[in-house]
Structure 1
Amino acid sequence: MELHLETVALFALKLAYEREGESPILRDDPIMSDYEREVFGLLVRRGDLEGIQFRVMHCVGLALEAIGGVDTPLGRELHRLAADFSDARTMEQLEAPVITLKDYLKEIQ
């Protein structure tokens, strides 16, 4: 799951901060320091559902703002998927929404 969480953060931050003609944001970029696989791994091992959701939703919020908010078709769908992720109440319930969120963010890159 840690890889999926890191990938969601990466794709969201790419939408928020990456600009055409500039160097791409990569996993080892300083902007990813709070969203690395090891950070998510620690949170997963601790069972810190709220910590995971907070970090992911911060990134998704930045991406949502970058694509024009919930008033755009892309934004409405991202908001819906983010709500599904936020609604998870157990670590097991995070699995499907995080994969769906990752796939969607990848598609809209």
Structure 2
Amino acid sequence: MELLLETVALFCLKLAYETEGSSPVLRDDLLMSDYEQEVFGLLVRRGEVETIQLKVDECVGLALDAIGGVDKPMGRELRRLAAEFSRAQMMEQLDIPLIALKDYLKDIQ
């Protein structure tokens, strides 16, 4: 799950900060320091669902701003998927909405 969380964060930050003709955002960039696999791994091991959701929500917020907000069709869908992820109450409930979020972010890159 840690890698999946890191991937969602990476895709969000790519949408927010990558511009055409510039260097791509990579996993080892400083932007990713709060969203590294090890950081998420610690949170997963501790079962800190709410903290994980807050971190993902931070990244999704940046991505939403980058694609024009919830007034745009892509923004509405991203917000819907993020809301499904945020409704999870246990670690086991994070997987399916997290995969959907990752797949959507990958598609809109």
Q: Structures share a fold, TM > 0.5?
A: yes
Pairing of 1:54-69 with structure 2 (within 5 A): 54-69=54-69
Instruction: In structure 2, list runs of 5 or more residues that go unmatched.
Output: none
- Gaps in structure 1 of 5+ consecutive residues: none
* Aligned match of 1:80: 80
**What SS does structure 1 have at the residue aligned with 2:78?**
helix
TM-score (ref. length: structure 2): 0.99
Name the Cα RMSD after superposition. Answer: 0.4
**Matched residue, 1:36:** 36
Structure 2 residue 79 is matched with structure 1 residue 93: no
Q: Which amino acid aligns with 1:45?
A: R
In structure 1, C-alpha distance between the alignment counterparts of 2:59 and 2:36, rounded to whole Å: 12
Q: Separation in 2 of the partners of 1:81 and 1:34? A: 22
Q: Aligned-pair distance for 1:25?
A: 0.3
Secondary structure of the corresponding residue to residue 57 of structure 1: helix
- Give the Cα–Cα distance (whole angstroms) in 2 for the partners of residues 54 and 75 of structure 1: 18
Identity %: 74
Which runs of at least 4 in structure 1 moved beyond 2 Å after TM superposition? none
The total of aligned residue pairs comes to 109
Residue 50 of structure 2 corresponds to which residue in structure 1?
Answer: 50
1:56, distance to aligned residue in structure 2 (A): 0.5
For normalisation by structure 1, the TM-score amounts to: 0.99
Query: Within 1, Cα distance between the matches of 2:18 and 2:83?
Result: 24
How many Å separate the matches in 1 of 2:104 and 2:46?
27
Aligned to 2:9: 9
The structural deviation recorded for 1:97 is 0.5
